[in-house]
Amino acid sequence: MIRNQLLVCAGGACITSGEKSVKDVLVDELKKNGIEDEVQVIETGCMGACDLGPIVVVYPEGTFYQKVTVENAGLIVNEHLVKGRTVSELLYSEPTSEKKAQTSGDIPFYTRQVKRVLRNCGVIDPLSIEEYIARDGYFALGKALEMTPDDIIGVVLDSGLRGRGGAGFPTGLKWKATRAAQGSPKYVVCNGDEGDPGAFMDRSVLEGDPHSIIEAMAIAGYAIGAEQGYMYVRAEYPLAIERFEYAIGKAREYGFLGRNILGTSFSFDIEIRIGAGAFVCGEETALLRSIEGKRGTPSIKPPFPAQSGLWNKPTLINNVETYANIPQIITNGAEWFRSVGTAKSPGTKVFALAGMVQNTGLVEVPMGTTLRELVFDIGGGIPGGKKFKAAQTGGPSGGVITPDYLDMPIDYDTLKEIGTIMGSGGLIVLDETSCMVDVAKFYLGFTVDESCGKCTPCREGTRQMFHMMEQICDGKGKDGDIEKLTKLGKCIIDTSLCGLGQTAPNPVLSTIRFYEDEYRAHIYDKKCPAHVCKHLLTYSVTADKCVGCTACARQCSVHAITGEVKKVHVIDQSKCIKCGSCYEICRFGAIRKE
Amino acid sequence: MKSLEELKRIKEQTLKEMDLRQAKERGKVIVAMGTCGIAAGAKDALMAIIEELEKADIHDVKVVQSGCMGLCDKEPTVEVAMKDQPAVIYGDVNDANARRIVREHVQGGNVVADLVIKRENI
């Protein structure tokens, strides 16, 4: 008889912070106390609050233990499970009030979320198909098989679901076009390439709730008339691949994949294709070439994959998060789906909250949630009392949201209006210590590396833009650079072959739009206002603060600092390499950085 | 898997196994598991309560543990806190008493008067 269940988060972040050893300690301690038959340990998918990991939740109480280590994991068994005493040192305490939270229901990070896509992540054992079924899994497939394909597509259209990979194209239209297309066989593909730096919602769904994607792909197969599906997932996601592979095996065993599913004439199966990690393979045409075993380069659209995709056959391709919505739409209906979100962007969106924010991790909120709610209410604000400067969305294809837009409801269309994109949901918070020119240069550097080289505007254009950004950050910016960057950026957007090039200039154009003064400070005043760009910094000694302790002179590796004991020291600017070590070592705050 | 009936059967069966993780709104039974409680047999009471609830097919009542509440002389002690009633504390709860508490109080809604710790006895 089981009296308690311990749910241990086995998401990527918790595994990295030591989940496996924590779990081993729990299992050992249970055995030592002879209660291993009464207490069950279950590993789940990502619970979302990644900076609190490893996380252990004790049921039936729902007690939420965070930052559990090998040293203190034993307390959960010896105190909580044996003696009935909550281990208060492992509870989460609210940073402002220092109030201890007993369950996840007491933590604002969780209470403000609406979990649909992530509803099973962190709740069920991803390796258990039975637990997925217990949470209404595969009932949507059963229901779909009793509907006509056109009715299913009608429900998806009515739901207003838009592509969660970033572009926001209406999912129902893709399904309709693929069903209507001539050609046989047809294919269903899931895009699990997820290349945006910082975004990991697709990985979390594949790791934490793999059956939801299998079910959705089978429904899609029935709706468009396909018998074969491909799951394309990047090689950097070994755990997602392992769990998805296992889930496919279980689904076959239970007859949700294979011949004559649920006793009908419908047959469908899925194979995994592993990508080698090229960013461009997240672009649908490049992804399809990669599945075919060819080099992953994009091709001109039209023809769209719906008409001519995999092996030139009609192909439906959707992103992981998009598919994750499908079973619930079929089960609960289009109206239910529209009950949260905005009129043009119904439903929820998962964001990967990162950067200069207290609570990082995966959060799922209704579309139309404001940035203020995301960063301050859920994210807990900026650490160290620093000022919020901007949020970067859409990764290397997106731009920034400034403090002026903190109260704007976020959806596909509002973000587009201010020059950024939803993207796959990466949301990186920047504070006053971030240089916007440097941030834009970072993202541009990423796309320069990841450009496949097929079309000239993207291959050469982004490189030229990157060169100019480097010059600006190095203090070699010239009058006219801002105008040139803008012109070249717009030209690359207009003339590139695929989405990668068409969005690559966004980080630069967006930061020029909102932070032109920072670009001007770099170019004309040769200053970096945020003190990030090394070449634009000057270190000098404030005479009345310097006590002549000689610490800086001894620290300086290029002997740029001279001065006698107990006398004011001087930095020779011609020798200084701006490493900042004098600034770090001075105990009197006498080194000035500007 | 050939039919939706089969699917429903798996769902019902697994839901029982996942029962501990579901929200339980009707109330809770708290077993004191201090050293004194354990020594007096709180573990047996705890397991008996879980077993009896399972037998009675009751899934909306949580069974949780607490530390010693100071009534070491009356251990094992069990508190039944149903949402719509004041909490009741029982003492000397052995296996048989634990089962009675589940059947008569949690299931039947009647306080098991002879097991309640009386103020004059404290």
pLDDT value of position B16? 85
Residue A205 in domain: yes
Has residue B119 got a pLDDT over 80? no
**Percent of all residues in chain A with a pLDDT value above 70, rounded to a whole number:** 100
Distance CA A498, CA A520 (A): 31
pLDDT value of position B3? 83
A131 to chain B, closest Cα gap in Å: 6
Please check whether residue A400 is in contact with residue A431, taking contact to mean a CB–CB distance below 8 angstroms: no
Mutation target to probe the A interface, by most A beta carbons within 10 A, among B8, B50, B65 is: B65
Which H helix or E strand runs over A501?
A: helix A499-503
Q: Which residues of chain A are within 8 Å of residue B39 when distances are taken between CB atoms?
A: none
Q: Which residues of chain B are within 8 Å of residue A3 when distances are taken between CB atoms?
A: 20, 46-47, 50, 63
Residue A531 in domain: no
CA nearest to A362, candidates A158, A110, A574, A562: A110
The whole-number average pLDDT for the span A257-283 is 95
> Does the interface predicted TM-score (ipTM) exceed 0.90?
no
pLDDT value of position A114? 95
Mark whether A327 and A368 lie in a shared domain: no
Mark whether A422 and A508 lie in a shared domain: no
pLDDT value of position A96? 72
Hey, is the C-beta of A246 within 8 angstroms of any chain B C-beta?
Answer: no
Inter-chain CB proximity A59 and B21 less than 8 Å: yes
Lowest mean pLDDT among A9-13, A419-423, B18-22: B18-22
Inter-chain CB proximity B47 and A38 less than 8 Å: yes
Q: Which residues of chain A are within 8 Å of residue B70 when distances are taken between CB atoms?
A: none
Find the residue in A nearest to B12 (Cα).
Answer: A134
- Taking all residues of chain A, what is their mean pLDDT, rounded to a whole number? 95
Please check whether residue A6 is in contact with residue A57, taking contact to mean a CB–CB distance below 8 angstroms: yes
Hey, is the C-beta of A138 within 8 angstroms of any chain B C-beta?
Answer: yes
Mark whether A448 and A582 lie in a shared domain: no
Q: How confident is the model at residue B120 (pLDDT cuts 50, 70, 90)?
A: low
B113 to chain A, closest Cα gap in Å: 26
Residue A231 in domain: yes
Q: What is the pLDDT of residues A19-53, one digit of tens each?
A: 999 999 999 999 999 999 999 999 999 999 998 99
Residue A171 in domain: yes
Burial class (CB in 10 A: 0-12, 13-18, 19+), A173: middle
Lowest mean pLDDT among A123-127, A163-167, A284-288, A527-531: A163-167
pLDDT value of position B74? 86
Residue A112 in domain: no
Mark whether A203 and A142 lie in a shared domain: yes
pLDDT value of position B83? 86
Instruction: Locate all alpha helices (DSSP H) within chain B, ordered by sequence.
Output: 4-17, 35-40, 42-55, 95-100
Hey, is the C-beta of A133 within 8 angstroms of any chain B C-beta?
Answer: yes
Q: Token pair of A98, please?
A: 């220092």
Q: What is the pLDDT of residues A190-246, one digit of tens each?
A: 999 998 888 999 999 999 999 999 999 999 999 999 999 999 999 999 999 999 999
Mark whether A215 and A334 lie in a shared domain: yes
Q: Of A338, A361, A390, which closes a domain?
A: A338
pLDDT value of position B35? 84
Has residue A108 got a pLDDT over 90? no
pLDDT value of position B122? 59
Q: What is the pLDDT of residues A152-168, one digit of tens each?
A: 999 999 999 999 988 89
pLDDT value of position B84? 81
Q: How confident is the model at residue B70 (pLDDT cuts 50, 70, 90)?
A: confident
Mark whether A516 and A561 lie in a shared domain: no
Mark whether A360 and A425 lie in a shared domain: yes
pLDDT value of position B69? 77
Q: How confident is the model at residue A500 (pLDDT cuts 50, 70, 90)?
A: very high
The whole-number average pLDDT for the span A459-479 is 97
Q: Which domains does chain B have, with CATH numbers?
A: 22-121 (3.40.30.10)
**Percent of all residues in chain B with a pLDDT value above 90, rounded to a whole number:** 45
CATH of the domain at A411: 3.10.20.600
Helix (H, G, I), strand (E, B) or coil at A430: strand
Determine the structural domain holding residue A498 and report its residue range.
Answer: 436-523
The whole-number average pLDDT for the span A499-523 is 96
| Total length of chain B | 122
Mark whether A476 and A580 lie in a shared domain: no
Mutation target to probe the B interface, by most B beta carbons within 10 A, among A56, A83, A253 is: A83
| Total length of chain A | 594
Q: Token pair of A193, please?
A: 């390439």
A265 to chain B, closest Cα gap in Å: 12
Instruction: Locate all alpha helices (DSSP H) within A181-228, ordered by sequence.
Output: 201-208, 210-224
Instruction: For residue B4, give the nearest of A3, A4, A142 by CB distance.
Output: A142
Q: How confident is the model at residue B112 (pLDDT cuts 50, 70, 90)?
A: very high
Inter-chain CB proximity B10 and A38 less than 8 Å: no
Inter-chain CB proximity A60 and B67 less than 8 Å: no
Q: In total, how many domains does chain A have?
A: 5
Distance CA A348, CA A335 (A): 14
Q: What is the pLDDT of residues A416-438, one digit of tens each?
A: 999 899 999 999 999 999 999 99
Inter-chain CB proximity B1 and A85 less than 8 Å: no
pTM (two decimals) = 0.91
